[in-house]
Amino acid sequence: MTNTSANKEPFRISFEFFPPKSAEMEEQLWQTVDELGLYQPDFVSVTYGASGTTKLPTFATVERLISQTNLPTASHLTCVDADRDETHDVIRQLRDLGVRHIVALRGDPSSGIGTAYVPHPHGYANAAALVAALKEEGGFEISVSAYPEKHPESRDAAADIDMLKRKADAGADRALTQFFFDNDMFERYLDKVVAAGVKIPVVPGIMPIQNLTQLKRFAGRCGASIPSFLDDRFAGLDDKPEERAEVAADVAAEQIEDLIRRGVNEFHLYTMNRAPLVTATLSRLGRKPAAAHQVSERALV
């Protein structure tokens, strides 16, 4: 594996949030932002639904993050079911909100994951084309996605890595991976990415496991695998939420610790808009909140 600088500097982190769908979820999100913001992430990102289905909630979340926090804020952007004029209108709106970092994605088919993707006849066909358009607009840092186990719609791993290279060549600054749990697999993937001439950083996506059963369903739709050792780690804990949360934090911390030993020093954490597992994971890794006072002790569930 070619990443270097392991253990020479503190590991870097970023967090992903999604727009809340209810008043209760909104309260939970902003409590999470308050707690995780103390860990001084490089940036936080906000997801954006297929064909702009969460456009207004995404905008509202991004605007509040930019206006009321000091967190560098990135917005996801997809090109599903949008013509080029519509896409550039969204880009201009994001710029007006103060966004200077975009996570550029093709997006899932609006007809649902697993259905055939059909590009808009007057839109951008894929994320590489969207990246090129953002570079032409200018003034944006650009992140893209990467898939250690390949995107479920890719013909094979080589085609998937070729798409990543096209995104990098178009001007992407980094790639954020789909979550995974097999670090050996990620190391093999990264070696292939480097061999293909991809020069941008590939940042591993880490998913602290809130609910293993739900995660398995989600992973099946997005092409990620769940190793059998996780069944062993969580066996017998269905009715023991506190113990289950402890194991979940252990698993995430152990994965990050192992990746650090392999030379990785940057991680993108999928928070699911919940702080406890993330803070517990970071605590296990010796990461402290930046504020002089400690985050209030909270249950992990």
CATH of the domain at 233: 3.20.20.220
Contact between 19 and 57 under an 8 Å Cβ cutoff? The reply is yes
- The reported pTM is 0.90
- Check whether 111 has a pLDDT greater than 70: no
* Given the residues 9, 16, 26, 242, the one annotated as active site: 16
293 pLDDT band (50/70/90 cuts)?
Answer: very low
Looking at the domain assignment, is residue 66 inside a domain? yes
Looking at the domain assignment, is residue 2 inside a domain? no
- Check whether 269 has a pLDDT greater than 60: yes
Q: Give yes or no: 86 in active site.
A: no
Looking at the domain assignment, is residue 31 inside a domain? yes
DSSP state letter for 200: S
pLDDT at 9 (0 to 100):
61
Q: Which tokens hold the place of 46? A: 């906000």
> Which of 47-51, 118-122, 154-158 shows the lowest mean pLDDT across its residues?
118-122
pLDDT at 172 (0 to 100):
98
Looking at the domain assignment, is residue 167 inside a domain? yes
Looking at the domain assignment, is residue 216 inside a domain? yes
E strands present in the chain: 12-17, 43-46, 73-78, 101-105, 141-146, 174-179, 202-206, 266-270
Q: Which residues of 36-58 are buried (b: 16+ CB within 10 A; e: fewer)?
A: bbbbbbbbbbbbbbbbbbbbebb
Length of the chain: 301
Percent of the chain scoring above 90 in pLDDT:
78
Domain that holds residue 89: 12-284
Q: What is the pLDDT of residues 24-72, one digit of tens each?
A: 999 999 999 999 999 999 999 999 976 556 789 999 999 999 999 999 9
Q: What is the pLDDT of residues 67-83, one digit of tens each?
A: 999 999 999 999 887 88
Looking at the domain assignment, is residue 278 inside a domain? yes
- Check whether 125 has a pLDDT greater than 90: no
pLDDT at 297 (0 to 100):
41
**Longest distance between any two alpha carbons in the chain, whole Å:** 54
Q: What is the pLDDT of residues 180-223, one digit of tens each?
A: 999 999 999 999 999 999 999 999 999 999 999 999 998 988 88
- Check whether 118 has a pLDDT greater than 80: no
Looking at the structure of the chain, the number of domains it has is: 1
Q: How many CB atoms lie within 10 A of CB 148?
A: 26
Looking at the domain assignment, is residue 294 inside a domain? no
The residues, ordered by sequence, that sit 6+ positions from 256 with a Cβ below 8 Å of its Cβ are: 11, 206, 267, 281, 285
> Which of 61-65, 130-134, 152-156, 279-283 shows the lowest mean pLDDT across its residues?
152-156
In 3D space, the residue among 192, 188, 134 whose CA is nearest the CA of residue 158 turns out to be 192
Looking at the domain assignment, is residue 25 inside a domain? yes
In 3D space, the residue among 280, 270, 209, 196 whose CA is nearest the CA of residue 238 turns out to be 209
